[in-house]
Structure 1
Amino acid sequence: MGIVFGKIGVECAAHDVLRQLGPNLQLRRYHPSVLVETPCVGINGKENGDAFRRLAKYIGVFGDPKNEGKQSIAMTAPVVNSTTGEKIAMTAPVINATSAQGSKEGEQV
């Protein structure tokens, strides 16, 4: 990775360009790769930092890689973050305004 005239170069996963489809569009075949993921309880602050450090240790950013093969793994783009929805109970009362049938405000219909 490097910076040239304000542009940040990002290491991408190894790939072959099968076809150039336009000035900024390529059809690519990616080489076999390793996918690493870790849970993250929160999306900001300490939890996010802890998750990043777990991944960084695994791939060997801070020294000896903490993975089964003890091999460094390149950190390449893209990095994907995903979140799942969370169900919450609807606990507030629902208040209905006066309807055409004449029910009163606050009256359950």
Structure 2
Amino acid sequence: MIRICLALAMLLLTGAVMAADEPPHQILVEDGDIQIRLYEPQILAEVEVAGRMSSASGRGFGPLANYIFGGNQSRDGASQDIAMTTPVTQTRSQEIAMTTPVTQSAAGHDRWRVAFIMPAEWTMETLPVPDDPRVDIRELPARMMATIRFSGGPNARRFMRHETELRAWLDMNEMEIIGEPVYARYDPPWVPTPFRRNEVMIEIANPQS
């Protein structure tokens, strides 16, 4: 825990989080705050947590931060630090994935998968193994994602409102949705709320495939 706090303090002082790399992608279509992007394959470090959207994000961050700040074992037995990228993503666990519109349950016992995207230079073979068994490492194929960007506090109401807007745009443009929504946060909590970047991302079918 001390190591994580010190590392986060260093990130705060250097601004490293705000300058973190984004996953490689191409922008294919842009319409206001909406983009269609083609993402290269990605590797995620994920943890599954329970609770409402906002609290689940906080619970998931700790184990993932511990992993990238040295809570791991490389192939030679040493721990390694892993650079942080943006965004931090959050999706509903597939076991309870819901049809649209996605809402918070009344009881607030949703399950979520919170993820850090690993830097592009790492592979499944070279990434260190997490010390925490709750952290899962998995690979995603190349994907076409529809995204909508908005600023402000990343609360559930804003995410749901923009998800509805994005789904309406996709329906209007006859694009096929093939994945569950991903809720993405790009900025750390100390960035002033009006300047925080957030996105809803939904995988769509590639018309060329």
- Under a length normalisation based on structure 1, what TM-score does the superposition of the two structures give? 0.44
Greater RCO (Cα-Cα under 8 Å, separation 6 or more)? 2
Larger helix percent: 2
Q: Which has the higher strand share?
A: 2
State the structure with more CA Rg: 1
Q: TM-score, normalised by structure 2?
A: 0.27
